[in-house]
C-alpha cells in the first residue's frame, strides 16, 4: 500500500521535487565524472608512459571525493529538511486518517528511495556524457592521443563507488526523516503556518554605522591579503579570514534598514508592486543575513578556485613550448670527464634508426665551462657559456630574436635544450671562446612526421641496442617526457579546480534556490491577497521574479568583489609560472555561473510561481 502511495506522491509532487532532484542528479554526475578519470584517454596515455602524476591525480580525487561527499551530504540533508517543512500538513493528514508513525516513516523512506534511485540512474547517465566531454576537452589540450585509447563506456567502478557514497548519504537522510516524524506532534503538523517575516526596525544611523563598519572590516581584510599574500599562513592570516567573514555578515545585516529607507524617498517606490517587493526582500535580507554570508563565501570559493585553475592552466600551456623547444636533446658529457665530440646521427643510424626518414633536423652545439675569471659571471649553478654566433644560430632556427654581437658576456634565460629555461646560458663574444674549456656537446633533434611514432621507434631502438654510446657518457632528454610533466600538472590543476569549483557553485545555488522556494510558499497568502485586491497576474509574476532576482544577485555581487581581490592575490603566487590569463579565466567562470547559477534561478522562478499560485503538496 505504502509503495503505491509513495509512487503516486512522487509523481504528483514532481514539480516540488524538481530543484531537489536536479541537485541530486548534478551531485551524482560530478561525483561520477571525477571518479571515472582512470578510463580517460589522456590518463591511459600518461599511465602507459609510467608517469607519476597519474597516481597523484587519483590520490587527490580520492581525498577530494570524501570532502565533496560531506558537502553534498549536508546539502541533501538541508534540502530534505526543506521538503519536510513543506509537507507538515500532509503528514498530519496521514495521522488523522489512522496511519501510525511506522507506516508514515516507511512511506517517506520509500519516497526517498524512489527519488534517490532515479537521481542515481540519471546522474550516472549524465555523468557518462560528462566524462566523455571532459575526455575530449583534455585530449584537445594534448599534442596527440592515439586513436586506440579512445573509448566511450560506463566506468562500473566509478558507478559502484558513486552508488556506495550516495547510498550512505541517503541512509543518513532516511534516519533523519524517521527521527523528524517520530518527534512530530499532530497538533503542530495540522496547524503549521508560516510565520510572517517582519521588517527589521532599527534607526537609520545604526544601519549606516553597521554598513560602514562592515566595509571597513572588508577593506582591512583586503589590505592584509594583498600586502601579505595568500600563502603566508599565521595568526594574522586567520584574522584576515575573520575580518572578511564578519565584514560580509555586517554588510548583509545592515542592508534591511539601510536600503529600504533610501528607496522610500524615490518616486519609483510606489510604482506597481515595488513597495511590496522591497519590503518583503528587506525582511528576508534581515532574516537570511547568516545564510547569505555562507552563500557569498561559497560563491567566492567557486569563482576563485575555477578562475585560478583555468588561468593557471592556460599559463602552463604557454610554457610548454618554451621549455620543450626540441623533440629530443642528447647531452654528450664525453669520456671519463674529458670532452669528446660524437657524430650523433651516425650513432643513431648504427642502431637501426633511419635518420634521413625520422629526423627533420640534427643540430650539434658545444657549450663551454663558465669560468668567472674570464666571463665575470659566477660559476654557481649550471650556467654554461657559448659563443654568440652559435647562440644566434639556435635562435634563428626557433624563430626568436638574436643578439647579433655582444661586447661583454651576458646571461640569457632562453632555453637552448629541453628542460626548464631558468638555467639559461652565458653568451660571450666569439673571440673570447678560445679562453674557455669545452664542457659538453648538445645535439638538438626534431622528428620528421608523427612525433609520438618516431619517439617510440627511437626509444625501442635504444632499448634493444647493445652499445649506442660507444663508451661515451650520454643522457637523453625527450620532449614528450617534459611535455607530460607539464601537462600532468596542468591536468591536476584543471581537474581539481573544476571539481571543487562546480561543487561549491552547485551548493550555493541549490541552498539559495531551496530557500527562495520555501519563502515563496510562505508568501502564497500574500500573493493571493494581492490578487483579490486587483493586481493582475503579470504584475504579480514580475514582482515574484524581481524578489527572487534580488535574492540571487545580492550574495553574487559581493562574492564577485571578493573573488576579484582574491584573484589579484593568487596571481602574485603563480607569477613565477606566468601571469594568469584573466580574460579567458573570467569568461569561462562567467559561463559556468550563467549555466548553473542562472539555471537554478530560472527553476526557482518557475517553482516559486507555482507555489504562490497554490500548487502545493498539501
Q: Is the pLDDT of residue 448 over 80?
A: yes
Nearest to 258 by CA among 199, 211, 293: 211
Give backbone dihedrals phi and psi of 331, rounded to 5 degrees, phi first.
-100, 120
Give CA–CA dist 586/599, Å, rounded: 19
At residue 618, the pLDDT reads 38
* Average pLDDT for 383-404: 86
At residue 447, the pLDDT reads 93
User: Residue 489: pLDDT band by 50, 70, 90 thresholds?
Assistant: confident
Q: Is the pLDDT of residue 422 over 70?
A: no
Of residues 9 and 326, the one with the higher pLDDT is 326
Condensed to tens digits (0 to 9), the pLDDT of residues 140-185 reads: 666 555 655 566 667 888 888 888 988 888 888 778 777 766 666 6
Pairing status of strand 359-369 against strand 384-387: antiparallel
Give backbone dihedrals phi and psi of 199, rounded to 5 degrees, phi first.
-70, 130
At residue 142, the pLDDT reads 63
Laid out side by side, the sheet with 474-478 consists of 410-412, 425-428, 384-387, 359-369, 438-447, 328-332, 474-478
* Average pLDDT for 12-26: 75
What is residue 486's three-state secondary structure?
helix
At residue 616, the pLDDT reads 43
Of residues 261 and 435, the one with the higher pLDDT is 435
Q: Is the pLDDT of residue 50 over 60?
A: no
Max mean pLDDT among 95-99, 144-148, 326-330 falls in 326-330
* Average pLDDT for 441-470: 87
Cα separations (Å) of 562 from 224, 241, 245, 566?
13, 12, 11, 6
Nearest to 46 by CA among 470, 483, 395: 483
Q: Is the pLDDT of residue 604 over 60?
A: yes
Give backbone dihedrals phi and psi of 288, rounded to 5 degrees, phi first.
-100, 20
At residue 258, the pLDDT reads 67
At residue 379, the pLDDT reads 74
The string of DSSP letters for 245-263 reads: HHHHHHHHHHHHHHHHHHH
Condensed to tens digits (0 to 9), the pLDDT of residues 542-596 reads: 888 888 898 899 899 999 998 888 877 777 665 545 555 566 667 778 888 888 8
At residue 617, the pLDDT reads 37
- Cα–Cα–Cα angle for 249, 560, 276, rounded to 5 degrees: 60
Give CA–CA dist 193/102, Å, rounded: 25
Give CA–CA dist 443/462, Å, rounded: 16
Mean per-residue pLDDT of the chain: 78
User: Residue 220: pLDDT band by 50, 70, 90 thresholds?
Assistant: very high
Q: Is the pLDDT of residue 118 over 60?
A: yes
Q: Is the pLDDT of residue 5 over 90?
A: no
Grid coordinates given for 572: 602574485
Give CA–CA dist 309/315, Å, rounded: 10
At residue 421, the pLDDT reads 41
Q: Is the pLDDT of residue 200 over 80?
A: no
* Average pLDDT for 2-23: 69
Of residues 329 and 178, the one with the higher pLDDT is 329
Amino acid at each position: 500500500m505504502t509503495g503505491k502511495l509513495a509512487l503516486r506522491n512522487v509523481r504528483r509532487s514532481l514539480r516540488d521535487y524538481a530543484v531537489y532532484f536536479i541537485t541530486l542528479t548534478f551531485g551524482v554526475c560530478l561525483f561520477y565524472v571525477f571518479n571515472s578519470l582512470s578510463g580517460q584517454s589522456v590518463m591511459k596515455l600518461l599511465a602507459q608512459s609510467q608517469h607519476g602524476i597519474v597516481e597523484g591525480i587519483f590520490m587527490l580525487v580520492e581525498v577530494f571525493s570524501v570532502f565533496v561527499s560531506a558537502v553534498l551530504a549536508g546539502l541533501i540533508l538541508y534540502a530534505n529538511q526543506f521538503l519536510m517543512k513543506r509537507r507538515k500538513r500532509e503528514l498530519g493528514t496521514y495521522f488523522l486518517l489512522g496511519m501510525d508513525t511506522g507506516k508514515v516513516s516507511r512511506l517517506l523512506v520509500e519516497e526517498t528511495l524512489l527519488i534517490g534511485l532515479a537521481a542515481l540512474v540519471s546522474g550516472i547517465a549524465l555523468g557518462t556524457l560528462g566524462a566523455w566531454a571532459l575526455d575530449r576537452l583534455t585530449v584537445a589540450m594534448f599534442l596527440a592521443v592515439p586513436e586506440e585509447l579512445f573509448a566511450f563506456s560506463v566506468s562500473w567502478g566509478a558507478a559502484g563507488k558513486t552508488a556506495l557514497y550516495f547510498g550512505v548519504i541517503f541512509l543518513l537522510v532516511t534516519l533523519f526523516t524517521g527521527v523528524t516524524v517520530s518527534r512530530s506532534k499532530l497538533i503542530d503538523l495540522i496547524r503549521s503556518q508560516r510565520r510572517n517575516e517582519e521588517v527589521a526596525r532599527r534607526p537609520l544611523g545604526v544601519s549606516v554605522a553597521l554598513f560602514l563598519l562592515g566595509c571597513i572590516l572588508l577593506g582591512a581584510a583586503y589590505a592584509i591579503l594583498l600586502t601579505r599574500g595568500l600563502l603566508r599562513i599565521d595568526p594574522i592570516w586567520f584574522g584576515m579570514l575573520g575580518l572578511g567573514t564578519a565584514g560580509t555578515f555586517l554588510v548583509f545585516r545592515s542592508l534591511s534598514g539601510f536600503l529600504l529607507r533610501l528607496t522610500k524617498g524615490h518616486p519609483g517606490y510606489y510604482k506597481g508592486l515595488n513597495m511590496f517587493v522591497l519590503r518583503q526582500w528587506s525582511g528576508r535580507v534581515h532574516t537570511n543575513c547568516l545564510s547569505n554570508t555562507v552563500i557569498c563565501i561559497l560563491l567566492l570559493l567557486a569563482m576563485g578556485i575555477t578562475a585560478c585553475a583555468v588561468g593557471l592552466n592556460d599559463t602552463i600551456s604557454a610554457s610548454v613550448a618554451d621549455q620543450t623547444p626540441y623533440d629530443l636533446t642528447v647531452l654528450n658529457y664525453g669520456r671519463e670527464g674529458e670532452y669528446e665530440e660524437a657524430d650523433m646521427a651516425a650513432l643513431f643510424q648504427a642502431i637501426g634508426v633511419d635518420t634521413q626518414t625520422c629526423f627533420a633536423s640534427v643540430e650539434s652545439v658545444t657549450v663551454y665551462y663558465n669560468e668567472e675569471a674570464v666571463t665575470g659571471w659566477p660559476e654557481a649553478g649550471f650556467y654554461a657559456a657559448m659563443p654568440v654566433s652559435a647562440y644566434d644560430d639556435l635562435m634563428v632556427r626557433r624563430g626568436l630574436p638574436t643578439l647579433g654581437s655582444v661586447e661583454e658576456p651576458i646571461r640569457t634565460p632562453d632555453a637552448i635544450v629541453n628542460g626548464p629555461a631558468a638555467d639559461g646560458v652565458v653568451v660571450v663574444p666569439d673571440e673570447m671562446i678560445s679562453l674557455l674549456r669545452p664542457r659538453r656537446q648538445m645535439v638538438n633533434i626534431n622528428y620528421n612526421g608523427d612525433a609520438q611514432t618516431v619517439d617510440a621507434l627511437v626509444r625501442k631502438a635504444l632499448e634493444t641496442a647493445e652499445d649506442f654510446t660507444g663508451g661515451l657518457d650520454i643522457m637523453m632528454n625527450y620532449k614528450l617526457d617534459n611535455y607530460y610533466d607539464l601537462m600532468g600538472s596542468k591536468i591536476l590543476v584543471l581537474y581539481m579546480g573544476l571539481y571543487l569549483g562546480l561543487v561549491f557553485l552547485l551548493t550555493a545555488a541549490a541552498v539559495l534556490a531551496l530557500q527562495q522556494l520555501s519563502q515563496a510558499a510562505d508568501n502564497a497568502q500574500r500573493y493571493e491577497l494581492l490578487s483579490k485586491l486587483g493586481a493582475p497576474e503579470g504584475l504579480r509574476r514580475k514582482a515574484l521574479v524581481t524578489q527572487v532576482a534580488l535574492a540571487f544577485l545580492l550574495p553574487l555581487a559581493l562574492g564577485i568583489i571578493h573573488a576579484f581581490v582574491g584573484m589579484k592575490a593568487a596571481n602574485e603566487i603563480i607569477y613565477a609560472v606566468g601571469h594568469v590569463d584573466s580574460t579567458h579565466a573570467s569568461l569561462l567562470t562567467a559561463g559556468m555561473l550563467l549555466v548553473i547559477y542562472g539555471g537554478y534561478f530560472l527553476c526557482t522562478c518557475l517553482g516559486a510561481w507555482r507555489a504562490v499560485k497554490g500548487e502545493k503538496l498539501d
